[in-house]
């Protein structure tokens, strides 16, 4: 007969003595684990980010949807004070995703997050996450994130479907899910879930630089490096440095590229285009996917070493 061990919970204060100086720092270094639960590829933007007289624990970016994520931690049970702060932080950073992490999410606060998810557009999502530490007998402790409040994506999609048919949105989701799965197999990304949108972005491992694949205007498909380090001056400096290497980079890439400095905008991009739309037949979409994968892999191989060297 199997001799089972005894599963027990460990007080998280035995692991992290202080919420701010220990747990938040640990979480900043383990955003990938939280991202797996939230089905996001998270990248740290800033720890202890100022919002007026308040200080947000973590400001991150959801690379796949290129949106800011507000993350607030709390030892013990959730309370009204942190709920108010959470909404303040979301408004202060115009965030599209809000994550509340605590040892215990009170039922009235879970209901509040559910209500917010049901009464806001698909452009903003609210998550409630419980952090626990568990142990079997005297084994090493293990952390566990439990998702207890999250957006109902089907409902939000249908509420806002007036701007875009659900059939077209589902076609985007199917295409990008296939793209993500193929790129994950090539160790290009850890992303898991396609979204019903006409683009998807991937982490480069370099803060402020992402790879992206999209269906652009004019019936074109685009693969690109998108530069947005949070400051127009820094973006243009990096773009100009790469532009100085244009001939060398294009020779190694094997194709001419579009160098879009975007002087009227904060960000810049380096891209390559081909004809195509999400309304193509299955065979054409498969060709578009293969084309996109090849170019994204080349962007990483050719540009990443140059960018890292410059930065």
| pLDDT score for 186 | 95
| pLDDT score for 15 | 94
Pairing of strands 209-216, 220-227: antiparallel
Pairing of strands 268-275, 125-136: unpaired
- State whether 212 and 132 are in the same domain: no
Is the residue at 1 inside a domain?
no
CATH number, domain at 302? 3.30.1460
- State whether 225 and 180 are in the same domain: yes
- State whether 79 and 110 are in the same domain: yes
Binned at pLDDT 50, 70 and 90, residue 120 comes out as confident
Q: What is the mean pLDDT of residues 286-290?
A: 98
How many domains does the chain divide into? 2
Residue 212 CA to residue 203 CA, distance in Å, equals 9
Side-chain-side CA neighbours of residue 267 (13 Å): 12
- State whether 14 and 153 are in the same domain: yes
Is 105 in contact with 149 (CB distance < 8 Å)?
yes
Binned at pLDDT 50, 70 and 90, residue 193 comes out as confident
- Find the domain containing 87 and state its range: 7-158
Q: What is the mean pLDDT of residues 36-59?
A: 91
- State whether 59 and 151 are in the same domain: yes
Of 158, 175, 207, the residue that ends a domain is: 158
Give residue for tokens 């605590």. 102
Binned at pLDDT 50, 70 and 90, residue 162 comes out as very low
Q: What is the mean pLDDT of residues 215-237?
A: 94
Does the global pTM surpass 0.85? no
Binned at pLDDT 50, 70 and 90, residue 18 comes out as very high
Residue 165 CA to residue 126 CA, distance in Å, equals 24
CATH number, domain at 16? 3.40.1350.10
Q: Is the pLDDT of residue 161 over 60?
A: no
Residue 232 dihedral angles phi and psi, to the nearest 5°: -60, -40
Q: What is the mean pLDDT of residues 2-6?
A: 85
Binned at pLDDT 50, 70 and 90, residue 157 comes out as low
Separation in Å, CA 128 to CA 30, 125, 152, 215: 18, 10, 13, 33
- State whether 30 and 121 are in the same domain: yes
Residue 223 CA to residue 216 CA, distance in Å, equals 10
Of 140, 158, 176, the residue that ends a domain is: 158
| pLDDT score for 190 | 87
Task: For residue 124, give the DSSP letter.
Answer: -
Q: Give DSSP secondary structure letters for 69-89.
A: EEEEEEEEE--HHHHHHHHHH
- State whether 153 and 179 are in the same domain: no
Q: Is the pLDDT of residue 6 over 80?
A: yes
- State whether 11 and 145 are in the same domain: yes
- State whether 17 and 68 are in the same domain: yes
């Amino acid at each position: 007969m199997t001799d089972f061990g005894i599963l027990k919970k460990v007080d998280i204060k035995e692991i992290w003595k202080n919420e701010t100086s220990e747990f938040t720092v640990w979480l900043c270094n383990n955003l990938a684990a939280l991202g797996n639960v939230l089905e996001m590829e998270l990248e740290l933007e800033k720890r202890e980010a100022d919002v007026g007289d308040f200080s947000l624990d973590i400001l991150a970016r959801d690379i796949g949807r290129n949106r800011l994520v507000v993350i607030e931690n709390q030892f013990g049970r959730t309370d009204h004070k942190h709920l108010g702060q959470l909404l303040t932080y979301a408004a202060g950073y115009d965030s599209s995703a809000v994550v509340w992490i605590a040892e215990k999410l009170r039922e009235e606060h879970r209901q509040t997050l559910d209500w917010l998810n049901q009464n806001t557009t698909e452009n903003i999502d609210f998550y409630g996450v419980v952090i626990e530490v568990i142990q079997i007998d005297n084994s090493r402790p293990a952390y566990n994130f439990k998702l207890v409040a999250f957006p109902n994506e089907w409902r939000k999609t249908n509420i806002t479907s007036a701007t875009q048919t659900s059939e077209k949105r589902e076609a985007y989701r199917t295409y990008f899910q296939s793209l993500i799965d193929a790129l994950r197999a090539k160790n290009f990304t850890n992303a898991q879930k396609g979204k019903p949108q006409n683009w998807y972005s991937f982490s480069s491992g370099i803060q402020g630089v992402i790879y992206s694949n999209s269906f652009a205007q004019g019936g074109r498909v685009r693969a690109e490096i998108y530069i947005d380090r949070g400051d127009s001056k820094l973006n243009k400096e990096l773009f100009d440095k790469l532009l100085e290497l244009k001939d060398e980079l294009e020779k190694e890439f094997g194709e001419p590229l579009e160098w879009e400095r975007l002087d009227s905008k904060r960000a810049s991009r380096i891209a390559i285009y081909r004809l195509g739309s999400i309304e193509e037949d299955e065979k054409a979409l498969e060709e578009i996917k293969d084309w996109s994968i090849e170019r994204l892999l080349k962007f990483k191989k050719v540009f990443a070493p140059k960018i890292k060297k410059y930065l």
